[in-house]
């Protein structure tokens, strides 16, 4: 005979919460789960009444639960949000077909509008075409960079300034450990923050938030199960990064030893973010005003261009990424020992595919070497890509760099068929974006 639910004391407990071993009945579990997400939303003042919010929807469990819970809470607590599902079609045969069907059904089930944007529309390349061009190895970089921009670009084209994603506590914990292992303080400083923003650059000033940041993956699965949600078990089919895979395994082991570990890592991540030297973590507070959310929400600028790959690692990589970083660090070390200093460039790191994710991780040590000469840590500065206007710390953003490489090598026949190049496509995308921006400004003016 199962014990009674510890919350209502009447129903039979059917769920042991993975987070803290509380024994709950089904109704109480669903309520508690929703209440916790509501608490996350209110204490962080994530939304304002009347805000248009795009839910990055993949058809997977996280974004499906996010959509369902937001819809529920929006009605229950009168948030007054204008919710829309935003899906990106990467153009991976057999991968998106089913999940897009799921998202379409979700749109009907939750009575939410849906917008699907394809990579062809955004970049002129499907992921299948990219893979055909660069091979299976390293396409994870393209996947990451393109996906990173896709949601922002998609949102901008809809005139939506706020994208919510289904990142859960496990994802955040894993990223905290990964960034510690990679020695990546700039990313560490924003991983734990619930709201990030890509600053300035009119087209891409998009606020991003993670309402499920404190929700355990296991509880998301339980929620989806007990709510009979319709989702698709997805997993990126391309090669994952070793660092993330390694961190993921460790998080899972830690969770088994102490279930609160996931939350504890998230907490540590938040606390450590405040210890990152200001020079490596640009914050809205230092210079720019945040125009979003409640008064005290600190918006962390996210200059991440998705170079960490698509983030769907599963520990299957043989460790190539780690081996490359190890090699680069040793080269730096040798150079330092022998009084030389080498500039870490994309070129010196080999192919842009493998290199760009390494470059980020390598910098700290490189900077360490330079420290003797006076200057401390790397400072990221925000600017706009001179080609597409997307936020970038470089003159040309990662996507444009990758596209240039792709287009240069595109078989003649294929160019003939597609009749497109990166700047054209991006120009088209931007035209849309600019239109949307104008519309938004008009709306803002009429409101005034």
Binding site for other proteins (CB under 8 A): 6, 20, 22, 36, 39-40, 43-44, 169, 176-177, 180-185, 194, 213-214, 250, 253-254, 256-258, 260-261, 263-272, 274-277, 319, 322-323, 325-326, 329-330, 333-334, 364-365, 368, 377
CB 228 within 8 A of CB 280: no
* Minimum CB distance to other proteins smaller for 270 or for 404: 270
81 binds, among other proteins, Zn ion, none (CB under 5 to 8 A by kind): none
28 binds, among other proteins, Zn ion, none (CB under 5 to 8 A by kind): Zn ion
In angstroms, how far apart are the furthest CA atoms of the chain?
Answer: 73
Q: How far apart are alpha carbons 91 and 189 in whole angstroms? A: 33
183: Cβ contacts below 8 Å, ≥ 6 apart: 361, 364, 365
Phi, psi of 245 (to 5 degrees): -60, -45
Nearest to 186 by CA among 332, 356, 396, 378: 378
324: Cβ contacts below 8 Å, ≥ 6 apart: 349, 350, 354, 358
Question: Which helix (DSSP H) or strand (DSSP E) does residue 55 occupy?
Answer: strand 52-56
* Minimum CB distance to other proteins smaller for 266 or for 406: 266
Q: How far apart are alpha carbons 425 and 386 in whole angstroms? A: 15
- Tell me: does residue 145 bind Zn ion (CB under 5 A): no
* Minimum CB distance to other proteins smaller for 233 or for 333: 333
* Minimum CB distance to other proteins smaller for 10 or for 260: 260
385 binds, among other proteins, Zn ion, none (CB under 5 to 8 A by kind): Zn ion
275 binds, among Zn ion, other proteins, none (CB under 5 to 8 A by kind): other proteins
The stretch near Zn ion (CB under 5 A) out of 218-226, 350-358, 378-386, 404-412 is: 378-386
387 binds, among Zn ion, other proteins, none (CB under 5 to 8 A by kind): Zn ion
Q: Which long-range contacts (CB under 8 A, 24 or more apart) does 436-439 make?
A: 436/156, 436/157, 436/158, 436/159, 437/156, 437/159, 437/202, 437/203, 439/159
11 binds, among Zn ion, other proteins, none (CB under 5 to 8 A by kind): Zn ion
Q: How far is the CB of 199 from other proteins (least distance, A)?
A: 23
Kindly tell me which residue out of 210, 324, 387, 410 binds Zn ion, with binding defined by CB under 5 A: 387
Binding site for Zn ion (CB under 5 A): 5, 7-8, 11, 25, 28, 385, 387-388, 390, 397, 400
């Amino acid at each position: 005979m199962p014990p009674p639910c510890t919350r209502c004391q009447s129903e039979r407990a059917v769920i042991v919460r993975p987070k803290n071993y509380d024994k709950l009945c089904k109704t109480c579990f669903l309520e508690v789960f929703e209440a916790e997400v509501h608490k996350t939303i209110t204490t962080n003042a994530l939304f304002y009444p009347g805000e248009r919010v795009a839910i990055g929807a993949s058809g997977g469990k996280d974004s499906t639960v996010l959509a369902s819970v937001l819809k529920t809470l929006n009605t229950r607590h009168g948030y007054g949000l204008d919710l829309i599902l935003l899906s990106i079609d990467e153009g991976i045969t057999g991968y998106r077909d089913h999940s897009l069907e799921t998202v379409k059904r979700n749109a009907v089930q939750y009575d939410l509008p849906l917008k699907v944007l394809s990579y062809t529309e955004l970049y002129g390349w499907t992921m299948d075409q990219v893979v055909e061009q660069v091979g299976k190895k390293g396409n994870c970089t393209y996947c990451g960079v393109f996906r990173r921009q896709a949601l922002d670009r998609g949102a901008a084209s809809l005139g939506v300034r706020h994208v919510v994603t289904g990142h859960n506590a496990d994802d955040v914990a894993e990223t905290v450990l990964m960034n510690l292992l990679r020695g990546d303080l700039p990313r560490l400083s924003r991983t734990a923050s619930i709201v990030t923003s890509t600053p300035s650059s009119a087209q891409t000033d998009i606020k991003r938030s993670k309402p499920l940041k404190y929700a355990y993956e296991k509880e998301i699965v339980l929620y989806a199960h007990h709510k009979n949600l319709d989702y698709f078990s997805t997993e990126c089919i391309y090669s994952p990064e070793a660092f993330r895979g390694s961190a993921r395994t460790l998080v899972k082991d830690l969770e088994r030893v102490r279930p609160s570990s996931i939350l504890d890592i998230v907490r540590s991540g938040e606390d450590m973010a405040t210890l990152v030297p200001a020079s490596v973590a640009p914050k809205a507070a230092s210079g720019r005003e945040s125009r979003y959310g409640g008064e005290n929400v600190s918006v962390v600028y996210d200059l991440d261009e998705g170079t960490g790959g698509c983030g769907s690692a599963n520990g299957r990589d043989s460790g190539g990424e780690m081996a490359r970083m190890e090699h680069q660090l040793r080269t730096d070390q040798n150079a330092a020992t022998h009084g030389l200093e080498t500039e870490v460039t994309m070129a010196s790191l080999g192919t842009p595919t493998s290199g760009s994710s390494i470059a980020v991780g390598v910098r700290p040590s490189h900077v360490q070497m330079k420290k003797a000469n006076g200057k401390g840590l790397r400072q990221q500065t925000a600017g706009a890509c001179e080609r597409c206007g997307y936020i970038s710390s470089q003159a040309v953003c990662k996507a444009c760099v990758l596209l240039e490489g792709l287009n240069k090598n595109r078989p003649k026949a294929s160019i003939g068929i597609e009749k497109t190049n990166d700047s054209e496509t991006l120009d088209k995308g931007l035209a849309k974006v600019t239109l949307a921006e104008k519309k938004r400004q008009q709306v803002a003016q009429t409101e005034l």
